[in-house]
Amino acid sequence: MPLSRKRWSRFSGSRGQVHEPGDIPAALFGPLHGFGPDTVHLSPAPVHHAAPLRFGGVVHACGGTVVMLRHFDAEQALSAIERHRVTHTQWVPAMFVGALKPPAEVRTRYDLSSLRVAVYAAAPCPVDVKRAMIAWWGPIIHEYYAATEGIGTTFVDTEEWLRRPGSVGRALLGTVRICAEDGGELPPGQTGTVYFERDEPPFVHHGDPERTRGTQHPRHVEFVGALPRTPTGKLVKRTLADRHRRSRGNGLNGR
């Protein structure tokens, strides 16, 4: 059943770094990943998670087809790519780890030549795991860093990531600001809290203005807090424990 595009209508009205129409995910990710009527997208994760739900909706909005697994199984996923001639898929790092576990003779049994783009997010991916996936699948792996609440997005493709392993790229939606606890913006090389600057706050906690305020910059409500990163011109993911320990507000999870 196609997913409604109205799912994202609440993101309309904010202008940020790029023009933001009512359907931000379709406007951003459709052209970025090359979604279209010939897209066959494999979703190996359940759609009660935000990213699989939204990516499935974007693919449908662009006229493509979504193939869904009942649960993740590495060999079933590889088989589905071959059987349905999958062109796009979205995984998380734990799935990469699982896919690399079978012996090479099992992994190479399946024809994956139809794959054009493999997207992942949700957690830091060990550098050696990502390198192994690139060696296996080729330079088709896209990574983004964002959040369920739609506060902002960064993006890095394989070529740029190989130049800066561990990077999550540059801002695609919103302007990135890395700030100290007092709200002052930090220079490159310092560790702080990431904020995405937007013209309007992209979300609120229902009926809880204080909690909403806790996710925002101490002086600028248009800065919405995300997770800590090391500012070196690009965002670099740190450990999951550190991200939760140091995140401002309500433990926003990278997506």
Q: Is the residue at 169 inside a domain?
A: yes
Q: Is the residue at 252 inside a domain?
A: no
Q: Please give the tally of structural domains in the chain.
A: 1
Q: Is the residue at 251 inside a domain?
A: no
Of 198 and 138, more confident: 138
Residue 186 per-residue DSSP state:
P
Q: Is the residue at 189 inside a domain?
A: yes
Mean pLDDT of 12-36: 64
- Please count the residues of the chain: 255
What pLDDT shows up at residue 90? 95
Q: Is the residue at 253 inside a domain?
A: no
Question: Could you report the per-residue pLDDT of 141-195, keeping only the tens digit for each?
Answer: 999 988 777 778 899 999 999 999 988 888 888 888 888 888 888 888 788 888 8
Q: Is the residue at 255 inside a domain?
A: no
What pLDDT shows up at residue 19? 39
Question: Could you report the per-residue pLDDT of 59-96, keeping only the tens digit for each?
Answer: 999 999 999 999 999 999 999 999 999 999 999 999 99
Residue 133 per-residue DSSP state:
H
- Helices (H), ranges, the chain: 24-33, 50-61, 74-84, 93-100, 104-107, 127-137, 158-163, 209-214, 240-246
How much is the pTM? Answer: 0.75
Percent of the chain with pLDDT over 70: 76
Range of the domain at 20: 5-246
Residue 145 per-residue DSSP state:
E
Query: What is the DSSP track for 58-105?
Result: HHHHTT-EEEE-SS--HHHHHHHHHHHT--EEEE-HHHHHHHHSS-HH
CATH of residue 203 = 3.40.50.12780
